[in-house]
Structure 1
């Protein structure tokens, strides 16, 4: 056989394989049997944007449920990519609880790993189980309590800085990008809580390690090109050989993080070892110290321990998740309060009812008094309602995606609409073949009018005092919402996040009023749900608000 003939045969076989996997094999996908948007409008027509973009997704989810039921077939990037979008609580509970059957797709894990390493956000299987087992003791209730004075200290520093800025203005009011400033404060908190390392980001933005984290997250996530991101996932070698600005920035930032954070790890290990040698255990309470101690605990089998690299990857994970998600939750809460002055006034009154008498008294409180104050704050009913309503309405994680590692039957509790028009009313299952994606619509569940009522898209903290029975039965780690996910991969830092959010809201709302600027703020799903000014997307994520030092004679309803 000639070379030409062999080449022709190889090309023919390649074309046959492509035709089979792209057009023939997908036609046997059992998900095609259920109802969903039409797929005959073009080879690469997909329905991902209206499902994933928070500008459209609430209306899209509502329309899809009415037309196709709660188990919906959607097309992804091509005819080979048929996915399940489920808004059935029983189905999503099954997917999230069975984390070995439904993993994060390798594409998501590759992107996460390329930025912050293979920590708990990216790890799967035994690697994730081992990392979580080592990390769990660091997130005990006792260790969380030890972080309360730190959060108060950083919240007070932010308050002082804003007061100083306001006094420099003629009318004692300032317009601040609260998204930017709150992010600086939460970075300070997680820096101390994670490393026992002070970024001093509230004071300025000059710290080398802080700038490395901030620039890496901002450049790679908020400003990253979609095409270049796809190249990094599917053709990483090409991306490495021909790096663009984003790749070069990430490399430079990672070098700083590995050098500085790696040195911190070695210093902590030395202090722990010295403490054991001296018979006086090192008393550090930061996450890094606690992780290192947990990793060498005598009751942990050697094969369950993790490497220094895994320790660094998980610290990077805490830096990202601990600063970004909390700062966005705070930002959205402050915006919603500014847009709803009557709610802000009511919350303001509740917070002031437990506030120390003098404005500067927080700095004079003992640690026991701070702990007692936080206990009171954490139990305030209206504050709790405001925060969970804010997180329900605008969850930082818009949605999540899982991939089936084997064929599975996903149980349902709502009628399943078939593609041929028939409806199965009894509880049944949906067949999900191995390799298929399942969309977990976090925002979709939390804005569903059938669960939460016709006012589900409104900011109404009082709804939590009269929660519909069906909403009270929804899955989720936090207040029947999926904001912190559910199941074995639920957020390990939820309690820490609540300490941050409630403490910062208390300190800021007892010292300032927040008013809208007139800018129209939109939501955009850029890894997390971030605020942008309409028409100024290229300027990056921002949320400007008018911040007015509190005057007992004023209220959010009367200030202008």
Structure 2
């Protein structure tokens, strides 16, 4: 019997529908996660994610979940087929983060990240991630990062001078002038990572070929007109300001929708199809345009750097540059690295993009939140400033030699109270709110707390069965704010807590001071030390020159890729953190 094309299409559609129906209705019923206790869902497509992901609600939500359902909670994601594990047990989370080959970032997250900054260390998995990290690790050695300290001080001084100009402009009130510290610190950290990575050297091909021209930078503190700086900022900004949940999810599952470049018609209803698809396609076109600029300029830079390093090695002069890009290329060209362990020029470009995004945005937000917390707690700000002024050298910072600056930072890096303030800020408001993993195979996840079951009983097993394909939601903020671990004052800003930590803190996984802020395990933050250099240096320079106070504007937290500050009633303006800044009387 012959079957026509229409019959084949119908059969294929029926099979696809049956497969989808099975995975939506039947398959989830056998998932072991369904046996765990968890909050109820009142509608078919109800989700717990708005409560788990919103930093305005998540601390209270996590506390309630622990009280009612224990420390390994079943929550729902996008639909009735999407049961997820929310582990609030240190042993369970440590197991997930250590076993990165079993628990990977889901393809949805990787596709979203790689669509923006390429398949760098944030998006890569398996041997690709290991190869990229192996090549990049030498660039982040303590010795190499120490060489960047004078650069960070120079940019801190530049930001200080710029703010001094703003503060001196009339009219200046007794409490100071309002400055959006989030905006300005973001510009400063872009400058730092740009110089540290030498992303920008020169503007034209002739300059790129000059072996002595390695001194160009974003100059973002002074202005925001540089072509590459604008490309990065526009790309990152559109990714976080024009992100609609439903359209983003549809674009991930059906990438063809992102190619349907529909122009938005003025006056179109927000419920019509044109409105629904116009915005994401405008986003895609913007990202592609920014990619073209980045690939053109950074691509020339990579080739120029490789040529320069090769010529230095041939002439026997050796390369003395300590910027991250030079170190990355040298590491990739090392003779003890086999060809199959090297990364391509495209991977180097993706690594550059990753450094730009992760290296500037996270640190600038951490600094912004720290200044806001100090503004809200003037007694802590005053104490820290007094201690920092006591170690200030008699010679102005701008006149210190490289050795004197490095010596000053050695004192700062070991400064007891500064360490406490930085750790407490990173604990209270981690820039990365949470992270998602997916099981690549069946696994038994160990637990240290009793596992509560859906029927009200408590399991006798010291583990939880995980099926291949199950999502595990790592609640970074929840561990940093867990009152069962940090004590009753866990939600308060108290730098002195680090002098008398509860014993339970020692059981927490974390790359830095038993905090999950920089994650843990094989995928922990490679730039943690660099971030510490930036935070401590900028805090030292700014606090010894200015005081910070709150304005009348209410600032709240929102989880938009990272935890960002917004002004109440002005969310459409993007991230803002206005503070009253005043010069310290000399």
TM-score interval, normalised by the smaller of the two chains: over 0.9
How much has 1:427 moved relative to structure 2? Answer: 6.1
Establish whether residue 179 from structure 1 lines up as the match of residue 182 from structure 2. Answer: yes
CA contact (8 A) 2:199 2:352 kept: no
Distance in 2, Cα, partners of 1:506 & 1:137: 28
The CA distance in 1 between the partners of 2:13 and 2:179, in whole Å, is 61
Q: TM-score, normalised by structure 1?
A: 0.96
RMSD between superposed Cα atoms in Å: 1.4
For residue 319 of structure 1, give the secondary structure of its aligned residue in structure 2: helix
1:100–1:125 Cα contact (<8 Å) kept: yes
- The yes-or-no answer on 1:376 pairing with 2:395 is no
8 Å contact from structure 2 (residues 199, 298) kept in 1: no
Cα 1:21–1:509 shift into 2, 3 Å: same
User: In structure 1, which of residues 200, 206, 229 is the aligned counterpart of residue 225 of structure 2?
Assistant: 206
In structure 1, the residue matched to 2:152 is 151
Shift of 1:229: 2.2
1:351-362 equivalences in 2 (<5 Å): 351-357=388-394, 361-362=396-397
For the pair 1:303 / 2:347, whether they are aligned, the reply is no
1:241-288 CA distances to partner (integer Å, 9 max, x unpaired)?
A: 326221111111111000011111111111101101211012211111
Kept in 1: contact 2:199–2:301 (CA 8 A): no
Please say which of residues 234-243 and 274-283 is displaced more in the overlay. Answer: 234-243
SS in 2 for 1:49: helix
Residue matched to 2:420: 385
Partner of 1:17: 19
Residue equivalent to 1:225: 244
What residue number does 2:450 align with? 415
Query: Following TM superposition, by how much is the alpha carbon of 1:196 offset from its aligned partner in structure 2, in angstroms?
Result: 5.9
CA distance in 2, matches of 1:127, 1:118: 9
1:398 aligns with 2:433: yes
Give 1:473 deviation, angstroms.
2.2
Q: TM-score, normalised by structure 2?
A: 0.91
Matches within 5 A, 1:9-408: 10-39=12-41, 41-171=42-172, 173-195=176-198, 197=200, 198-242=217-261, 244-357=281-394, 361-408=396-443
Aligned equivalents of 1:9, 1:527: Cα separation in 2: 41
Is the contact between residue 411 and residue 427 of structure 1 (CA under 8 Å) also seen in structure 2? no
The structure-2 alpha-carbon separation of the partners of 1:222 and 1:388, relative to structure 1 and needing over 3 Å to count, comes to farther
Q: 1:293 to 1:42 in 2, by over 3 A?
A: same
Secondary structure of 2:293's partner?
Answer: helix
* 1:555 paired residue number: none
**Deviation for aligned residue 1:169:** 2.2
Unaligned runs of 5+ in 2: 201-216, 263-280
Deviation digits for residues 36-85 of structure 1 (CA, Å, limit 9, x no counterpart): 0124x222111111001101000000000100000000111111111100
Aligned pair partner of 1:486 in 520, 532, 557: 520
Separation (CA, whole Å) in 1 of partners of 2:447 and 2:527: 30
Structure 2 counterpart of 1:434, from 461, 468, 474: 468
Equivalent pairs counted in the alignment come to 548
- How far has the Cα of 1:174 moved from its partner? 1.6
